[in-house]
Structure formats: C-alpha cells, structure tokens
C-alpha cells in the first residue's frame, strides 16, 4: 500500500515546524507583553455547540465525528429509510471539530464565568478544521491565532489590539497596512442615504469594493433595490478619507456620530503610541457578514499578493447565544498560514534558530567513536546542541549526512585526535578549520550562541 | 442552552496552559540538545492508514470523521439495509483521527523517504484521540511526546534515548526509575525454559507481574498451558538482577546471548554519562503486546502512585507495513498528561514563568487614565509585560482585578502622581511600596526579569 494524507492537510518537516514555531513565538511574545493569557479548548466540541453558529454554509463545512460503537442502533430510523444524510447526522454524530476559535471561546467564557477575572484578556492559537475545497492557500486543517478582551467596553482595548498588530508585523519585518473603520459609521452611511432598513444589503455590497470596484458595487446596490439617489450619497461618502470630512454627512445620524466618536476615542489612546506600520481610517472597510457592532479592523501585507492576513472588531453580545447576556467582546485574529506564506515569499525568515544543530562529531573507527561519544556528553552537559553520527561508517556517508543536517560545525575524530587531544573544528559555511582542545571548543561555542 | 464539552476532553485555563508549555519546553529543549528535529503530521489521516495497525480494540477506539455532503449516497447499501454499523463505516468515513504518533511517523518516513537524511532523528509532540472510556488520568484527547531514530542499528541511539529520559526528569526535578531490558533476553528465557514457541504467551504473563505478583504470573502461565518445569525455570530467571547472573541460563540460547550482548553495548555507551536518576536492568520488564525486537525501556515516577510515565524500545521493521522494508527504528515516548499530573501532585512547578504579568497600572480618573496609558506604552516598549485596567472605575473593583490577575507589581495613578511624576510601585507579595520615576521603574523591572 502506498500511503497518502487527506486532501487539504499537510505534513510539516523540521524546517517548516521550526519556522512555524518562530511565527508562534513572535506572536505569543507580543500577546504576553500586552497582558493576554492563553487558553486552549478541545479539538472536538459538542455538535450542538457548533451547529447554527456559522450560517448554512458553515454547518455544511463542519467536520462531524461519527459516534463510536454500533452507531446505527440509535440512528434516526426515518432519516435512514429516506436516505436523508442531513437529517441523519445528529443521530449518528454528537461531536464536531473546532471550526473557529470564537465560538469555543464564547462557550468557555460562559462555562467558566465564575472563575474568570473580568475583563478577561485571552489569546488562543490552535488548529481549526473546515471541509472547504482545498486550493492554494486554503487548507482543511489550519491555525488561527485569536486575541480578545471580553467584559470591557473601553476603546483602549481597540487601541491595544491595533498596537499588537503593529508590533507583531514590526517584529516579523513584514510591512502591513492596518485599516480601521466602525460598523456604526456604516450604519451612519445607510442613515445618510435614507436606507437604514437596508443596512446589511449595503454592507455586503461595499464589502466587495476591493474585488469589483466602485461601478461593480453600484450595480450590486441596484440589484438589491437601492435607489439611485441613495447610491449617489453612498458613492460620495465612500470617497471620504478623514473623520472630519465625514462629519457633515452625519449631522442627522445619531449612530453615525457615535461611530465617529468611537473612532476619535480610539485615536485618543492609539496616537500616544509610535506605530511602525501604516494605520489608516478606511470608510469602505465593511468586514462582510460578521456580527460586528463597533470598530472593525483588517490587515493587508505590502508587496505580496495575498488577501487580508488579519481582521477583527467589536461584537456587543459575544456570549448571548450561550445564555450569558450583555457581555461585550473585542478581538482580532491573525491568519497564521497566510502570514507564513508571506514570510516565505518575501524570504523574511531569521538567519538562524535556537533549534539549529551546533556541532556534529564524526568518527573514523570504533575506538574513536567511543572517544567521540565521551566528548559529545561533555559538549551537551554545557548545554550545546550536538550529535555524533551513530556508527563509524565510511567517511563519505558521514560527510553527506553532515551536509544534509546543516550543522554549523563539524569535528572529525580518528586515532591522531585521540592521541593528541587536539580536535579540528570546521566551520561548515566558510570551510575554516582550527585546532582546539575540547574545553576550548566548548567555551567557543557557548560564547558563540 | 447550557454549554458543555464532550466527555473525556478538557478546557485549559491560563495557569494550565502556562504549566503545559513549561513541560513542553523542558522536554523540547532536551530533544533539541540531542540533535532531534521536529515534525508534525495532520490530525486526520486516511482511515486506511490507521485501520488494522492497533489491533481490534484499537480499531474500535479510533475516532472516524463522517464524510461531508450527502454521505449516504455512496454508502454501502447492503450494510445500510442490514443496519451493520461496522460494515458501513468505510463507505461513509474516509478519515480517522490520529491515534498515536508512531503510525503517522512511519507513514511520514515512507512518503518523504527521498527528502530525509538518514538516520532520521525526529521528535513529535501532538495530541492524539481515543474513544476510551474516560476515567481519572485517561482522556479522549491527550498529548504524546515521541522521540525516535529511524535508519540506524547502533545501540548508541538506545543510550542517548535513556540519557534524554534522565535529563528531562532531572530538569523537571521529578525523580524516576528507568528500567531497561531487551526483548531478546525474554526470548532467551523462553529458550531456556524450552518454550520458544510460546514466547508471546510468556511475555504477556510476565508483563502482569507488577499487578498480580509472581504467584499470579505462575497461574497465568499455567492457564496458557506452560509446563511446571518451564515455569520453575522462568521463576528462577526472573529473580536475576544482573547481566552476569543471567549468562549461565543462556549458554544454549543464541538469541539470549545476543540480548545480553546488546545490553552490554548499550552500557558501553551509556556508562560514559553521569545519570541523575536510577537506571536499572529489569529482567521482568516485558512491555506487553508491542512489537519490540530489541532493547525496551519503561519509566516510573518515585513517590507518586502512577503507572508508567514513559516507555519505548526498538522495533526492527517500523515502516514495512507501508511498503518500505528493513528499516529499523528505536524510540521512547513521554506520557505528557501523566507527567503533568505527577508535577501537580508533588507541586514541582517553577515559582515563576516568563508569561507572568509584571506590572499592572490602575488609574483614578479619565485624565490619569490617559497619563497611565502613556506610561504603559513606555513600559512595554522596554519589553516588560504590563497592562492598564481599561477603565478608571471604582478602585475597589480595580484592586480586586489586580489580586485575581496575580500581577507582580501595581502602580496606582491619580492627580498627585501626574503632577509630581513620582509613582508608588507596590510589590504585591510583600506589600512593600516605594516611590520612583517611570524611568526608574523601567530600569528596576528590566534588571529584575
């Protein structure tokens, strides 16, 4: 049998895992500096926790786990007779795989509300699974990194989350633009255009601006029965680039004014911070179908063709669906796999990692192999990453391994080295070779790391 | 709706995640020092990769993922009519969840054999899923940490793996006994007792010694139709405590002699290393039904009632089941969740972690809140973990948060502090309070971390 793995999933070799860990560590370090704490939730949730939270399409993309044992015994007999897969599911599967981190987080907050100090600032970096059609950059198993504050209405949180975006991408050396808007500003536009009742239709159309351009958006608005005069107003407002330009349009919209006010408060905090990346107000930012109610954010990488690599916002009622009302949340998400792809495309990986093999010993014969193993123990006792080729086989084979293994230094031991105690330390990148005692090598490599 | 999580799964709060990360990091650091490299495999494998690899019981404990869409359309109609769950599975589920790390590793090696430098030394730390009946210390989702060498017969590898056990448990301050034996020694016992054809029966009986005692093992051997004279020989040999005492019994057993020889070679390497924990030959160690063929290992914690917290050994044909013959592997596994429970029971967690909140600002009123936020930005720019309570609400509420949040230091800012620039830094554990400028605080906390 020739083995394979499921479509849309991936194996990660050493180089990829080390790079992924570098990305995790860089993100985590900033989360921690901002006072966020980690949680982890199970890979499987009760199917009832997940179903109905992601729309009809989401329900179809959920991976469901078959009940163990004789699952047909308790199956819905009517659905079985009718061969109705959709109707049968809930009777043969009670667990689903994590589809995102927001719903499990809301479930966590409700379940543990008596043990959590509010406001609760949590981060979570775990894989999620979606039965999406696999394509370039889209996987069935991928990682999300979410950071949220729940139980605080302060716009200081919004400022901190944008600072987190800025610091993470600064630390990754990946230049980005962070776009900021507010759902109440979008509601203000609908007010100003006299179509408050068509807010969601308008938002969905505006959300497509990047893909279909202004004329496309106008066609979309027409299709959704929005009048030409309303479309004129909307088009005018979408040209605006500052909050001050926006104000005249909202003279009669309370919610629009509130949106501007929230963005000004956001800036009151944020502007005390010196950003590395571009952070800009974008009145056209809509964030599609998500249930945001306040500030919204989206991140785009500079110099790489890649959709958004992060996004988020405030949602006034995070936990209501699980019976805990009136708890506001705000959070942003990092598109881990897309960010990885950006770093890969721009070759922004750090030159070296703590995981690299520092020193590899090779030995000519059984006696030097034993001697080399003793040396190896001393090198490791000093905390240096090192290994010895496990057999004194032909030197050609060992050197091939040394090259593939990408060791920084190599020491070859034979009878001369055993006799003199002088070991030739070879720096693999330069080919430079110098004789040292073992103690000298250890001191050199400790200083060097 | 009142939310819950599937039985046998767990939520991890901040304290648990930080402790789990400490455990991961401690283990990983040793793996890396010994030259092992990380890989990761998908959570879901083709069901055909997993089925038949873990015995009948394992097949039943595999979590199977339901095919998406109209899964009944391609279902085995005969099995459906007969309501035969077992026969139906393969036609409605093509993916299974990872059950251990060994089978995916073997699959990985075969799939990537052209890209891997052999000997390949890999580690892997990922969750696995089993539909086991949940009970104390047994979960449906739990973590395995495996470290293996594939493609090298050298017994140096065995020595290094036992060193890794010793170093990890030394670094965790958890005293353990590491038991060592060899499957060929067990085969030698069967030879000496004249029951070479009943080797597996004998091994399974000996494996129960810890639980049922010597008389129990003898009963078990009798039940398996092993003669009284053979049982006498077995009992005699099981009293042996050194390799030298063992030799006379194996004068006519080639495989027994080979087993002793392998253990001597293991010691040739291992004895050059200064172990912290007890490492001892245990002729009664059997490792049950696993397909080991050479050295075997098992780890037991001292001073805690807990089954084995690690085990492993050599298997001569790791990858044969996937069509790559004659590739030997040797590896050991760390029982992550059990080790966690030991550290918990013995309270061996480190006093502090890098993730701890260093400094929390509280503010009396809106103006001091803005001032405090500016201070906060400077503290974070110096790399210090810090936060500000997001609103200038009643001090009682903010102090309650400070206590729950376990911040090391707190600074309260009001109009006096804004006017003077002198901030009172309070050390929460001692209650000690000293006035400093912000720059002095930053310098103090940097030195301090």
Q: Are A41 and A126 in contact (CB under 8 A)?
A: yes
Radius of gyration (C-alpha) of chain B in whole angstroms: 29
State residue A149's pLDDT score: 97
Nearest to B18 among A38, A48, A370 (CB): A38
State residue A351's pLDDT score: 84
Which residues numbered 274-333 in A keep a CB inside 8 Å of some CB on B? 321-323
State residue B1's pLDDT score: 66
State residue A268's pLDDT score: 96
Q: Are A53 and A96 in contact (CB under 8 A)?
A: no
Q: Is B43 on the interface with A (CB under 8 A)?
A: yes
Q: Is B2 on the interface with A (CB under 8 A)?
A: yes
Residue of A nearest to B39 (CA): A13
User: What is the tens place of the pLDDT at every residue in B128-164?
Assistant: 999 999 888 789 999 999 999 999 999 999 999 999 9
Nearest to B6 among A20, A33, A42 (CB): A42
Q: Are B34 and A376 in contact (CB under 8 A)?
A: no
Nearest to A272 among B110, B116, B374 (CB): B374
Of B19, B34, B42, B153, which to mutate for an interface test with A (greatest number of A Cβ within 10 Å)?
Answer: B42
Q: Are B287 and B313 in contact (CB under 8 A)?
A: yes
Kindly provide the b/e burial profile for residues A330-343, where b requires at least 16 CB atoms within 10 angstroms of the residue's own CB. Answer: bbbbbbbbbbbbbb
DSSP state of B339: H
Q: Is the C-alpha dihedral spanning A108, A113, A117, A118 positive or negative?
A: positive
Residues of B in contact with A2 (CB under 8 A): 322-323
Residues in chain B, total: 449
d(C-alpha B418, C-alpha A236), whole Å: 45
d(C-alpha A173, C-alpha A126), whole Å: 23
Residue ranges of chain A with pLDDT lower than 70? Answer: 1, 289, 448-449
Residues of B in contact with A48 (CB under 8 A): 1
Domains of chain B in start order, with CATH, are 14-62+99-346 (3.30.930.10), 359-448 (3.40.50.800)
State residue A136's pLDDT score: 82
Quote the pTM value: 0.95
State residue B449's pLDDT score: 59
Which residues numbered 364-403 in A keep a CB inside 8 Å of some CB on B? 369-370, 373-374, 377, 380, 383-388, 390-391, 400-401
Q: Which residues pair with A426 in a beta bridge?
A: A410, A433
State residue A1's pLDDT score: 67
Q: Are B159 and B34 in contact (CB under 8 A)?
A: no
Residues in chain A, total: 449
List of residues 6+ apart from B217 with CB closer than 8 A: B205, B206, B208, B209, B238
Query: Quick one: which H or E segment has residue B436?
Result: strand B433-436
Which residues numbered 59-88 in B keep a CB inside 8 Å of some CB on A? 60-61, 63-66, 68-73, 80, 83-86, 88
| Largest distance between two CA atoms of chain B | 94
* Beta-sheet strand order (sheet of A95-97): A44-46, A95-97, A64-65, B64-65, B95-97, B44-46
Q: Are B62 and B49 in contact (CB under 8 A)?
A: no
Residue ranges of chain B with pLDDT lower than 70? Answer: 1, 289, 448-449
Q: Are B143 and B126 in contact (CB under 8 A)?
A: yes
Q: Is B5 on the interface with A (CB under 8 A)?
A: yes
ipTM: 0.94
Q: Tell me whether residues A117 and B401 touch, CB distance under 8 A.
A: yes
């Amino acid at each position: 049998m020739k083995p394979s793995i499921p479509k849309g999933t991936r194996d990660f070799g050493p180089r990829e895992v080390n790079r992924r860990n570098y990305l995790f560590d860089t993100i985590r370090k900033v989360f921690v500096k901002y006072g966020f704490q980690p949680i982890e939730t199970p890979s499987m949730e009760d199917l009832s926790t997940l179903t109905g939270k992601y729309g009809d399409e989401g329900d179809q993309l959920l991976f469901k786990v078959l009940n163990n044992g004789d699952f047909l015994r308790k199956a819905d007999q009517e659905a079985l007779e009718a061969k109705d897969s959709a109707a049968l599911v809930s009777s043969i599967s009670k667990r689903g795989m994590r589809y995102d981190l927001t719903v499990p987080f809301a479930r966590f907050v409700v379940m543990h509300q008596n043990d959590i100090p509010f406001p609760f600032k949590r981060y979570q970096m775990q894989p999620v699974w979606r039965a999406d059609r696999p394509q370039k950059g889209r996987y069935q198993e991928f990682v999300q990194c979410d950071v949220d504050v729940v139980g605080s209405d302060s716009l200081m949180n919004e400022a901190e989350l944008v600072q987190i975006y800025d610091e993470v991408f600064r630390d990754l050396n990946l230049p980005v633009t962070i776009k900021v808007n507010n759902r109440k500003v979008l509601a203000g536009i609908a007010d100003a255009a006299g179509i408050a009742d068509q807010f969601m239709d308008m938002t969905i159309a505006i959300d497509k601006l990047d893909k279909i351009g202004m004329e496309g958006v106008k066609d979309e608005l027409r299709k959704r029965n929005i009048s030409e005069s309303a479309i004129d107003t909307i088009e005018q407002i979408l040209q605006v680039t500052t909050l001050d330009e926006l104000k005249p349009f909202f003279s009669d919209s309370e919610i629009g004014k509130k949106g501007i006010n929230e963005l000004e408060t956001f800036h009151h905090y944020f502007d005390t911070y010196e950003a590395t990346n571009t952070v800009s107000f974008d009145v056209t930012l809509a964030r599609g179908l998500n249930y945001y109610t306040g500030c919204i954010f989206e991140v785009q990488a500079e110099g790489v063709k890649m959709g958004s690599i992060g996004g988020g916002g405030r949602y006034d009622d995070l936990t209501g669906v699980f019976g805990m009302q009136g708890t506001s949340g705000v959070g942003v998400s990092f598109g881990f796999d897309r960010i990885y792809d950006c770093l890969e495309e721009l070759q922004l990986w750090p030159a070296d990692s703590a995981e690299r093999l520092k020193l590899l010993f090779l030995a000519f014969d059984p006696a030097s192999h034993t001697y080399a193993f003793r040396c190896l123990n001393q090198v490791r006792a000093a905390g240096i990453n090192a290994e010895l080729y496990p057999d004194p086989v032909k030197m050609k084979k060992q050197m091939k391994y040394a090259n593939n293994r990408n060791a920084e230094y190599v020491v070859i031991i034979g009878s001369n080295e055993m006799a003199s105690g002088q070991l030739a330390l070879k720096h693999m990148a330069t080919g430079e070779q110098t004789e040292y005692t073992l103690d000298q090598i250890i001191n050199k490599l400790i200083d060097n790391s």
